Each structure stands twice: as C-alpha cells, then as structure tokens.
Structure 1
Amino acid sequence: MNFDLSEDQRMMRESFARFLDENSNSERVRAAAEQGGFDAALWQGLAELGAFALRIPEEAGGLGLGTMDAAVLMEEAGRTIASGPLAETLMAARLLAVLGGEAQAELLEEVLVGGKVLTLAMHDIAAQPVQWLAGGAVADVAVAREGDAVVLVTLAGDERGEDNLASTPIAEIDFAAADKTVLASGADAVAEFDKAIEEWKLLMAIALSGLSREAIRLAAEYACEREAFGQPIGAYQGMSHPLADLIVDVDGGKYLTWRAVHDIVHEPEAAGALISLSLWWTADTAARAVTQSLHTFGGYGLATEYDIHLYNLRARAWPLVWGDPTRFLEEAGRRLYAGERAALPEVGEVLINFELGEEAEAMGRELDDFFNAVLTPELRAKAHYSFDGFDAGVHKKLAEAKLLFPSWPKEYGGREAEPYVMNAMYKVWEEQGWTSHPVGTTNLVGTMIRKVGGDVLKEEVLTKIVNGDAICSLGYSEPGCGSDVFAAKTKATQLEDGSWRIDGAKMWTSGANIAQYVLMLTRTNPDVPKHKGLTMFVVPLDSPGIEIQPVYTFQDERTNATFYDGVIVPDSYRLGPVDGGVKVMAAALELEHGGGFAKSQRAMCEAAEELCREIQFQGGQLIEQVDAQKRLARCRAHFYISEMLGNRALWAGVNKMPNLAFGPMTKMFSSEKFQSDSRDLLDLTAPYSLSKREGAAGEINLAYRHAHGTTIYGGTSEVHRSMIAERALGLPRTRG
C-alpha cells in the first residue's frame, strides 16, 4: 500500500508551491480579479515551468507525464486559487496535441509557452451552441465537440467577459457564430474528447480539494488567534467540530479522487462512477468548507480585506461553469445502475497503491477456508454481529489454528502478522458474518497484558487467552460518565495484605455475561485531578460480589450493567502502576479509535441495491428510478471514502507517520455516514425495509438499528471530532 507521491512528484509539488505562493498570493489574486480575473504574468510563469506541457505526449513536444502529476499542480493551484482556466487548458492542450497533429503544431507551441490561451468547452456545441466557457473572456481559442467531430474554435471580440460571482474570466459564447476548424472526426475523435472531459473532472476535484483545505486552514488559524469570553474561539466545540467534520470530508474527497485514478488502471469497471462521485463530492465539500470557514471569521469574513471570501467565491465559480454538480451524482448513478459507460482517460503511470499485498491475501484465504470448513449451517444460523454470536468451540479452534490473534508474537500464539495482513483478515470476518467482538476486546486486553502486565497476569490470564479458553470484556463506561471514561467513580481501595477491594458499577459491559475477565478502570485516588487518580485492573468475572444484569438494545444486541460490591482482586492483577491508569487506558483507547465501519456500510448498500431490484415501482424496478440511483450512488461514495480513510490510517500507522487523528477520522466519518445512509435507505426501500424478514429487507432493517450504536461506542463522534480538531487542525483542547 502506498499513499505517498514519488520523489519526482514531491519535487514538482515543491516547485509549483514556491512559484504559486509568490505569484498567486492574495494580492495577485485580488489584482487579477480587478482586471477580469486573469493573471497574464502568472500564466507566463506557469508556462515557463512546463505546466501546460505536463499531459502532452513526448512525441508532440510535451513532458509525457500522467494524471497524478497534473494533480500535483492542480492541488497547489487550488490552494492558491490561481487565476486562469488551468484544468481546462491542460485538457484542451492535450486534445490539440493528440488530434491536431502537424497542422496545429505551431498553435500548440504557442499555448505551451504561454503565448496563446486555450480552453475547453464542456458540452457538445451542436446540441448546446451557446454555453459558458471557463476562461472564455480571455482565451484565444477553444477545443470543443461538435456532433461527431472535435473542432478548434477561434474566440473573437474584446468584450466577451462580464461581471460574475468570483470575478473569473468566464464568458457566454455563441459557438454557432464562431470560426471553427475540424481537428478530427469520427468515433475515435469523440472518444478522445470524452476522455479529456473525464480527466478534467478529476483535475477539478483535486483543485477543489486543495482550495477547501486551505480555506479550513485559514479558519483554524484564525480560531486560534481570535478570543471570545477569555479564550480562543477554537476552544468552543461549536466552532471546532464543524471544521473537524470538514477536514475529514476534504481528505476523503482527495483520496476518493486518487482511488478513481488508481482504478482507471487497476479496476476500470468501477472507475467511471468513481470519477463522477469524486467531483460531486469535492464540489459539495468545497461549498460547505468555504461557507463554514467564512463563518468562523464572523463578521470579518464578510469584509473584503480578509482573504477567506476569495476562497468562498472561487469554490463556487470553478465547478459551476460546467453546470449543477448534482448532475455528477446522477451520472454516477447511471454508471453504476443503468449501464452507462465512461470514456476512461489514459492516466499514465500510477504509483499510488491500495492493495494489501500477497501475504495479506494468502492469510485472508486461509481464514476464509477455515470458516468454510468449520461453520456448519447451525453455527451460521447462530451468527450475529455482536457478542451474541460467540461460540466457544469456534473460538477454541481459531486459537488452535493460530488465527485468533495473528498479529501477536509467536510465543503468544500469534504469527507476527503485519497490519496489512490483519486488515485482510478483518475483511474475511465481515464477509463471513462471524462475530469479531469477543476477539476484538480480548485482543485489546491481551495486548495490554503483554505490554504492561506482570508475570502472574501473563501466567494465569494471558495463557488462557492465547489458548482460546478465555475472552474479555471492557469495563470503562459508568452510568453517570458516558464517553468521559476518565471520570470513573468505581473505587478500588488497597487492603492491608496488598490486595484491592473494588466497589461500584459499570455500564455497557458487553460480553460480561459470557466473558471470563473484564478490563476495569477504577478510581484509586479521589484527591487529585480526575485524570491522575486512576488504576487499571483485570478482574475475574467469577469473583464473589459481581452482579451482571442484562441490558437489551433495539439493535437485537445484549449488553450489560455490572455491579461490584466488595470484589477482591490481588495486586498481581493490576495493569500498570497505581494511579497510572491514564497511560494504560490511552493506549487501549488508541486501539479502539482506529477502526471504521466501511464493511458494514458496503453490506448495507449492497442489500439496498438488491432490494431496489426486487421492488416494483411505477411499472419497473425501483433501481431504474433516477432518485434511487442517486441515493444508492451517494451511499457507495460514503463507503468508498470510509475505505480510503481507513486505508490511509493503516498506511500511516505502518509507516509511523505523525499521528494526525487518522484513526478517529475513519471511525467518526464511517459511523456518521453509516447512520445517515441507513436512515435514507430505510426510507428509500420502505415499506419493505420495515420487515425483519430474512434477506435484503431484514439486512437494511438491522443496519438502521446497528448504525446508531456505532457513533457511540469506542468513543462518541463528539470525542473524535475534538481529537481531529486538535491533532489535524492544531485547534485548542475543547474538553476538560
């Protein structure tokens, strides 16, 4: 897996960034806006850097680079809101080179050196002879499709531009009255034009991603400086949490676009819809990001002396020249569910990689074969996504096959499997529908024992865990604490013989009714700040004084309330130092915060697609309706983004990248979209989705109920938003 640019691309990014920081700063952008929205000196400088030659084949005098290389430029152009039709020029120049041949070599050379401005008409001028054109006010020529031909259009007249939202050089052009030269005609020519439009979508998506990120950065910087009621406004969740949501959406859009480029090469069947989804998502995200960023500035955001309004207006101007971005979602729906084919561009070399590797795939197949051999029809009928699906016999066989905790060292029954291998195996658990909850919590407890447990814990507890003879639950939450686990009141008092007496109550102790141990956070010192007087214990659940009461949820899942009255635990079952539970707990929470729900999202979406094919509506299948296609496509976009955020978190962890809350981003985004999409798909497929009948309807029904818990356990979305605001945006702490 690789989420990094090549060394050459990093050098290119640095070069373009330096140039644009100097030549597309706010002063230059403002000056260009006052003169029609085009910066001729900037354009000339970009030409000298070879920008317009990036996507020109070498045989035509260009650099012969790929779409990812052009994306490097476009992200920086977005960050600096460069003045000019850059994405359009890149694609129009490529068409001129590919279709124009020797006859247009002189014009191409003028375009590449910045002597003439070339742009691209988005729609067939035979069907839409009058249309808006990016750069139309300043361009000398444009490439357009006219029926079955691709033509070069001369743009004449000095007064083509007009005042517009973002003071960009757009213009409404009457192509019927313009001089045109045929570059090429026929199916191949039209296909090349269509490829250029698809690549334009990718480049525009990346530009909007760069723009959005910079707008949020400006807002976060301001939120750290501006004070209200004695503290920075960024310390208020009402300011920080929306920005946290948006930076996740921005990252998600960037990597969704990267995935589209990747899939053009590796999974072309899915790539067309991904292209459409990328621009729909980034356009929508940009609109929300710049609005919230401007709002962060308060009244100053409305003042033209602040730069944020420039980003606000440019975020709307760039994609809307094409038309309503919602149409890209409709287009994705057609490509997913109505058989529409996309003309995929030739993107060149793609070094980013989202594959897990051969070893991971092999281990995944081994686990899949295990489940296929062991899970009888009776066991599959017992399966459930929660602790309720646990079977001690299967658990024991997993341990014997060393498939229970493959990432652990070999001396602890593992295989020292790398994170990519573990990810592939988690996918198999999901596909097989076998509960992973007991394994996940037991893995967490066992890992903490391995790291900070003493010899007695390792001998008496870890051995049983390794052998598959014991599972563990988690005793964090309490009736009055919720996600604020460090406010725990369950008391541990040390006795004269060194052992500990535990008194109190825990809530949401899932699996306690079948587990042998619970990892418990206790209060050992009430006289210090709440984070400093905590200690962790591993408590045997068969100890005298423990009462377990069931709590049934509307998710068809049992959890528990557990009560501890004079429970005696030896000091040897203490995990970590006395009053040092915060560090132990923090490490455990990091293990929890890294997961997401992309696989559950995918299963839900596929069930909805199946049900939409079964439901008859207005004389046909529901999935034939445009509205249904859009809503299903939106669901797919969300789980694609969840997958990419999860992959990014996985890759960053493997490569020991700085902790910028990539795990919390994955968990928060996937759980929130799982919940909102489950609600929407329940509506879409109603009234069938009201039934718990076996099959797709029952799966959507359960997904709706299941999704509500995902935004709560493992830390609520609000907790994760605070983590993201602090780590990814540098905002002040928003919780005590």
Structure 2
Amino acid sequence: MNFELTEDQRMIADSFARFMDEQSSPERVRAAAEQGGFDQAFWQGLAELGAFSLRVPEELGGLGLGVLDAAVLMEEAGRTLASGPIAETLVATRLLAKLAGDSQGDLLEQAIAGSDVVSIAYHDINDQKVQWIAGGAVASAVIARRGNDIVLCQVSGQGEANLASTPIAEIDLGAAEQSVLGSGNDALTTFAQGLEEWKLMMAAGLSGLAREAVQKAATYACEREAFGQAIGAYQGISHPLADLIVDIDGGKYFNWKAIHDIAHGEADAGAEVSMSLWWNADTAGRAVTQALHTFGGYGLATEYDIHLYTLRAKAWPLVVGDPTRFLEEAGRRLYANESAALPEVGEIAIDFDLGDDARAMAKELDDLFNATLTPELRAKAHYSFDGFDRGVHKILAENRFLFPAWSKEYGGRDAEPYAAVALSRVWEKHGWTSHPVSTSMLVGTMIQKCGNDELKDEVLSKIISGDAICSLGYSEPGCGSDVFACKTKATQQEDGSWRIDGAKMWTSGANIAQYVLMLTRTNPDVAKHKGLTMFVVPLDAEGIEIQPVHTFQDERTNATFYDNVQVPDKYRLGPVDGGVKVMAAALELEHGGGFMKSQFAMTEAAEALCREVSVGGKALIEHVDAQKRLARSKLHAYIGEVLGNRALWTGVNGLESKAYGPMTKMFSSEKFQSDARDLLDLTAPHSLSKREGPAGELNLAYRHAHGTTIYGGTSEVHRSMIAERALGLPRTRG
C-alpha cells in the first residue's frame, strides 16, 4: 500500500504551487475577473512550465505524463483559483495530438505554448447545438462530438457577466465552422476517454479549492475572538469544519482510488469516476458555504477572499450541468450495465492493494470459517457479543487467527497490519462477531505494554489461548463519553490489595467475559484527569453484579456494579495514578477503527432487496432514483475505506497522523447511520420486516448503525479531535 506521490510528482506539485502562489494570487484573480476572467500572462507562464503538454504523448511532442500528474496540477489550480479552463485544455491538447495528427499541428503547438486556447464541449452537437463552454469567451477552437464524428469547431465566443466572472460563453457550435478530426469507434472512444479524464481533473481541482477554503476559515477562526476567546474554540464553528476536512480528504483520496482502479482494471472504476466528480463538487459547495459562514458578515465583503472561493466552487462544475447527473451516471454504471470509455492513466505509484500475503491469509481464514461454521452456528451469528461462541473462538485461537498481528510469542502470526483489513472482510462475509476479539485484543495489547509479569502470566495467557475474553469498563452512569469523570473508587488496603466500589455502564460482554478493563479513581483530591488508575478485574470476583441492558439493536449490553470488590495489586495495569496515559493509549487503539465492512454489507443487502422488490412493474433496482441512492451508499463505504487505509498506511510507516483514525471512525459511522436510514426508506415497506434475508439484514443495519456513532467515543468527541489536530483549531473540550 502506498499513499505517497513519487518524487517527480512532488516536484510537479512544488513547481506549480510556487508559480501559482505568485501568478494566481488573490490580486491577480480579482484583476482577471474584471477583464473577463482570463489572465493571458498567467496562461502563457503556465504553458512555459509545460502544463498544456503534460498529457500529450511523448511521441507526439508532449511530456507524456499520467492522469495523476495532471490531478496534482489541478489541485494546485483549485487551491489558487487559477483563471482559465485548465482542465479542459489539458484534455483538448491530448485529443488534438491523438486525433488530428499533423493536420492541426500548428494549433496544437499554439495551444501547448499558451498563445491559443482550445476547449471541449460536453454534449453531442447533434443533441445540443448551443452549449456553454468553459473558456469559450477566449477559445479559438472547441473539440466536440457530432454523431459519429469528432470535430474541431472554430469559434469566437462572446463572454458575459456570470456567477464567478469566469470566461465561459454560450456558443452555437452547430453554426460554427467545423472540420472532422476523426470518425468511427476509435475516434469516439478517444473523445469519451477525454471526458472521463476531465471528470477526474475537475474533481481534483475542486478538492484543492475546498481544502484551501476550509483552511482559510480555520485560520480566521483562530484569530477572531468573541466573548473572550477565539471563535474556533466553539464547537458550533469547529465541528462543521471538522466534518468538511474529512469529506475533503476522503474526496481527494477517492479520486486517487478511481485513477488507481482504472489502471488496475477494477470493475467499479467507471462508476468511481462519476462518483468522484459528484462527491468533490458537492463537498466543495458545502465547504465554501461553511467557510464563508465562519467569517460571519466579513465573508460577504468583497475585500475578503473567501467569496471568490464560494463563487468559483459552483462555477467550475456547473458549466456542464447539474452535478447530480454524475451520481445518476454512477448508478447506471453500477446497476444498469452502462459502460464507460476509461482513459489511459499512465503509470501509477500509489497503491491501495493489501498485498498477496494479506489475500492468502484471508483465504485461509475463509476456509477455516467454511469448515467450522455449521448451519446451527451460522444461525447464531450476530454482529455483537451475542454472536460469541466459545468453541469457534477456541478454534480461531488454535489457528492463530484471533490476534494475527501479534508476535508468535503472543499467539499471533507477526502479520502485517494490512492483513487485519483483509481478515476483517472475511469476518463480515460470514457475519461472525469480531467484538469479543477486538475488545480482548485491546486489553491484551495494553497488558503487553503496561502489565506486570503476573498479569501477563494469568490474564494474557488466557486471552492468547482463547480461554478468556474481555470487556471494557470505561463509561459510568451520568458520565457518557467523559470517561475521565470516573467516580468508581479504588482504595488501596494495608496489604497492598485494592478495594473497588462503584458502577459502570455499557459493559458489553461482561455477562460472558472473564475480565473487565476498568478505569478507577484512586485520588479524589486532584483534577479529574489525574488520580486515575487502570485495573484488569476478574469478573468472577465477589461483590460484582451484572445486570442486562437490552438495546433496540437486538444487542445485550450490561450495567455492572462493584461493592467491596477485593483485587490483588497484580491486576493493576500501569502505575498508580497513571491511568490517564494508559487510558489514552487504549482510546487511541479504539479510535482507529471504522464501520466500512458493515457499510458494504448493508449496501449489498439493499441491492439484493432492490432486485427482489417490484415497483411500477419493474424491479426497484431498475429505477434511476434507486440506482442513485445505492451508488451514494457504496461511495460512502469506499470513502470510509480509503480513509481507513490512509490511517493504516500512516501508522505502518510511522508518519504523523492528523487524527486519521478518528476521521475514519467518525465518517464511517455517520454515513452508516444516514445511509441505513435512506436505504430503509428506499426499500419500504419491505424493509420493515425482520424476516430472514436482505430485508432483515437491512432492518438490523438501521438499528445497528445508531450505536456506531457512540461506540468508542461519540462523533462529537471525534469532531473535536479532528478540528484540533487536522485544522489547528483551539481545544474545544475542558
């Protein structure tokens, strides 16, 4: 797996960034807007850097670079609001080179040099003679489809006042002088590939624009004060910006994924192209609106730059029409067998593949589940602790599949972290609960890090062998996500042992577990973040009462009560009054997960139900609205996946994480919930049933999703972490 650009791509980014910071400054953008939205000096400077030859094949006189190289350029263009139809010209110069050959050599040379502007038309002239053209006010030529031909239209467009003062123009291409560049399937395919490439580049540009707008808002929120503190300290300001930076990150890396998947011939690649443009256009629109709102009334003033981003975010994608059509297009490509002519993207160094070792290990686990899970066991399966079976758990332990990332000394396989992702998909495929494993892995990891030898000998050995599972005792009645408001007391006795008194809430699995990882207060006379100590408490100790708490998710959790529970000091985890550091490490582990596998499974259930249900005499999945909503749900799962992979890759390589784990958890859980609600609506009334099959699966997914935004810290907690670590906003929690 690799999320890093090549050295050459970083040089491209740095080169264009330096040029655009100077030549596409806000002052230059404003000046260009006053002159029809085009800066000829900037355009020629861009050409001198090789921008417009970037996608022209080497054998035809260009640089012959890939689509990702062009996306790197476009991200900088978006960041600086570069004036002119850059994405369209990148496509047009490649089309001219590939279709026209020597017949348009002079025009190609002039376009590459920046002395002529050549753009593209998005619609067939036979269907739509009059079209809006990006750069049409300054272009000398436009490449368009005309039925079975690809033609070059000589134009002289007339600009007019428009939303963002860009050089767009409405042109009658049908009346323009036309020359045929190519005819037949090959020419049509080449042109269609160019339009797909344009979508990827426009998505990259919008991503760069959105990021800069949100960063400007974050910077302002750190400087502007209200009621005695920076406005960024208020969650009403910081949390919407946190949501948006996650969406922006997700959109950037999903666009990379689409390029990657084209290169590797993945089945969904065509749909991903359409999804990427829709997502990045929608995200940019929301981002600039919230960014301007952060500035308050000043955001409305033309002297502030944020309004330029607000207008440009809409102007760029809307020239082709309503961006929602791209989501509909993705739906057709996923569910109506619509094909797409995908571009030649060039060499790709980025890699989202988990690797051969991960696949081999996943197959081994899949085979083990197939051999182990009888029909009776499969009927027992449930996503929560309720699906636990000791016999299966023991078999998994014997085959070193409980904690494969652990060393062989600790019952693992020394597996790379990427294997864990591959294995999680197998668990989801079989619908087998991973909660007892993930919770026990967290406790076991903390024992390895902070436990004494006695704790390792007794508890860790049982976790490794599969003879013990663990639960978590963090939350308390009335405390919610504020785990450091802990009131459960641990009092040290004269013999060094401890007495524990108090209550814990949401102690899932305590009714079947052997141990609970518990946070206690050992010093009540200091600040609440101090004087805390962690213990691993045997649940068969006297004085412990476990009461069931049933949820509407068909899941049992527990309230646990501790009355004069005597615990030897060997069960202490970490130093006395040092529980904050131990707890922080445990929470970091818990914050890194996501619910993408549940999202994928839910979407697949919805797809199956849409094939079963008939509406208006045809299967629901044949309806455009259903295809669009299913595509959106699948897109959200894919974005959660790339965010999770980014967090994983960052950790594997020891790089700085700007709350990448919380980003994954927050995004995937929030989208799981909103998509579950939407897909329940889509398939109603069938989705009301708990009957076996996709209806029951979707019904349960809706109920399950509500807890995911709460597990391991609520979305609000994660938004605060993201705002602080990803955007540099002030701390929003006491």
Give the TM interval when normalised to the shorter protein: over 0.9
1:479 paired with 2:477, answer yes
1:59 paired with 2:59, answer yes
Matched residue type, 1:394: V
1:93 paired with 2:96, answer no
| 1:524-553: CA deviation from partner (whole Å, max 9, x where unpaired) | 111111111111001000000000000000
Q: Counterpart in 2 of 1:699?
A: 697
Q: Counterpart in 1 of 2:528?
A: 530
Q: Counterpart in 1 of 2:495?
A: 497
Cα offset, 1:101, TM superposition: 0.6
1:220 paired with 2:218, answer yes
The 3-state SS of whatever aligns with 2:559 is strand
Q: Counterpart in 2 of 1:506?
A: 504
Q: Counterpart in 2 of 1:626?
A: 624
| 1:579-603: CA deviation from partner (whole Å, max 9, x where unpaired) | 1101100100111111111111011
Counterpart selection for 2:354 from 346, 353, 356: 356
Q: Counterpart in 2 of 1:649?
A: 647
Cα offset, 1:367, TM superposition: 1.1
Alpha-carbon distance in 2 for matches of 1:367, 1:618? 43
Deviates more, 1:420-429 or 1:201-210: 420-429
Q: CA RMSD for the aligned pairs?
A: 0.8
| 1:201-222: CA deviation from partner (whole Å, max 9, x where unpaired) | 0000000000000000000000
Q: Counterpart in 2 of 1:658?
A: 656
Q: Counterpart in 2 of 1:108?
A: 108
Cα offset, 1:375, TM superposition: 1.3
Deviates more, 1:263-272 or 1:674-683: 263-272
Alpha-carbon distance in 2 for matches of 1:202, 1:658? 28
Q: Counterpart in 2 of 1:385?
A: 383
1:119 paired with 2:119, answer yes
The 3-state SS of whatever aligns with 1:506 is strand
| 1:228-275: CA deviation from partner (whole Å, max 9, x where unpaired) | 001100000000000000001111111111111111121342111111
Q: Counterpart in 1 of 2:569?
A: 571
Cα offset, 1:734, TM superposition: 0.5
Alpha-carbon distance in 1 for matches of 2:357, 2:266? 24
Alpha-carbon distance in 2 for matches of 1:268, 1:145? 27
The 3-state SS of whatever aligns with 1:435 is coil
Residue identity over aligned pairs, in percent, reads 76
Deviates more, 1:25-34 or 1:147-156: 147-156
Alpha-carbon distance in 1 for matches of 2:679, 2:291? 31
Q: Counterpart in 2 of 1:587?
A: 585
Q: Which structure 2 segments of 5+ residues have no match?
A: none
Cα offset, 1:417, TM superposition: 1.3
| 1:317-352: CA deviation from partner (whole Å, max 9, x where unpaired) | 000000000111111111111111111111111111
Retained in 1: the 8 A contact 2:137–2:156? no
Equivalence map 1:596-611=2 (5 Å): 596-611=594-609
Equivalence map 1:203-602=2 (5 Å): 203-602=201-600
The 3-state SS of whatever aligns with 1:208 is helix
Alpha-carbon distance in 2 for matches of 1:393, 1:605? 31
Q: Counterpart in 1 of 2:47?
A: 47
Matched residue type, 2:4: D
Alpha-carbon distance in 2 for matches of 1:487, 1:626? 50
| 1:627-665: CA deviation from partner (whole Å, max 9, x where unpaired) | 111111111111111111111111111111112011100
Matched residue type, 2:533: T
Classify 1:382/1:268 alpha carbon distance in 2 versus 1 (closer, same or farther; 3 Å).
Answer: closer
| 1:343-362: CA deviation from partner (whole Å, max 9, x where unpaired) | 11111111111111111111
Matched residue type, 1:417: A
Alpha-carbon distance in 2 for matches of 1:456, 1:216? 51
Matched residue type, 2:265: E
The 3-state SS of whatever aligns with 1:269 is coil
1:635 paired with 2:637, answer no
Q: Counterpart in 2 of 1:163?
A: 161
Classify 1:3/1:527 alpha carbon distance in 2 versus 1 (closer, same or farther; 3 Å).
Answer: same
Alpha-carbon distance in 2 for matches of 1:401, 1:197? 51
Equivalence map 1:192-203=2 (5 Å): 192-203=190-201
1:675 paired with 2:673, answer yes
Cα offset, 1:155, TM superposition: 1.2
Alpha-carbon distance in 2 for matches of 1:425, 1:31? 56
Q: Counterpart in 2 of 1:5?
A: 5
Matched residue type, 2:36: G
Give TM-score, length-normalised by structure 1: 0.99
Alpha-carbon distance in 2 for matches of 1:174, 1:427? 53
| 1:146-183: CA deviation from partner (whole Å, max 9, x where unpaired) | 111111111126xx000001000011101122111111
The 3-state SS of whatever aligns with 2:101 is helix
The 3-state SS of whatever aligns with 2:512 is coil
Q: Counterpart in 1 of 2:18?
A: 18
Alpha-carbon distance in 1 for matches of 2:70, 2:262? 16
Cα offset, 1:415, TM superposition: 1.6
Give TM-score, length-normalised by structure 2: 0.99
Deviates more, 1:544-553 or 1:408-417: 408-417
The 3-state SS of whatever aligns with 1:161 is coil
Alpha-carbon distance in 2 for matches of 1:581, 1:77? 48
The 3-state SS of whatever aligns with 1:600 is helix
Matched residue type, 1:399: A
Q: Which structure 1 segments of 5+ residues have no match?
A: none
Q: How many residues align?
A: 734
The 3-state SS of whatever aligns with 2:268 is helix
The 3-state SS of whatever aligns with 1:152 is strand
Cα offset, 1:716, TM superposition: 0.4
Alpha-carbon distance in 2 for matches of 1:471, 1:327? 50
Alpha-carbon distance in 2 for matches of 1:463, 1:178? 80
Cα offset, 1:126, TM superposition: 1.7
Cα offset, 1:63, TM superposition: 0.5
Matched residue type, 1:105: G
Q: Counterpart in 2 of 1:154?
A: 154
Retained in 1: the 8 A contact 2:647–2:657? no
Retained in 1: the 8 A contact 2:132–2:168? yes
Retained in 1: the 8 A contact 2:381–2:431? yes
Retained in 1: the 8 A contact 2:405–2:412? yes
The 3-state SS of whatever aligns with 2:533 is strand
**Runs of 4+ displaced beyond 2 Å:** none
Q: Counterpart in 2 of 1:129?
A: 129
The 3-state SS of whatever aligns with 1:504 is strand
Alpha-carbon distance in 2 for matches of 1:30, 1:731? 29
| 1:40-90: CA deviation from partner (whole Å, max 9, x where unpaired) | 111001100000001001111001111011011000001101000000000
The 3-state SS of whatever aligns with 2:528 is coil
Retained in 1: the 8 A contact 2:193–2:341? yes
Cα offset, 1:364, TM superposition: 1.1
Counterpart selection for 1:716 from 714, 717, 720: 714
Q: Counterpart in 2 of 1:70?
A: 70
Deviates more, 1:320-329 or 1:262-271: 262-271
Retained in 1: the 8 A contact 2:394–2:466? yes
Matched residue type, 1:167: S
Q: Counterpart in 1 of 2:32?
A: 32
Alpha-carbon distance in 1 for matches of 2:291, 2:473? 40
Retained in 1: the 8 A contact 2:144–2:153? yes
The 3-state SS of whatever aligns with 2:267 is helix
Alpha-carbon distance in 2 for matches of 1:444, 1:702? 26
Cα offset, 1:115, TM superposition: 1.2
The 3-state SS of whatever aligns with 2:637 is helix
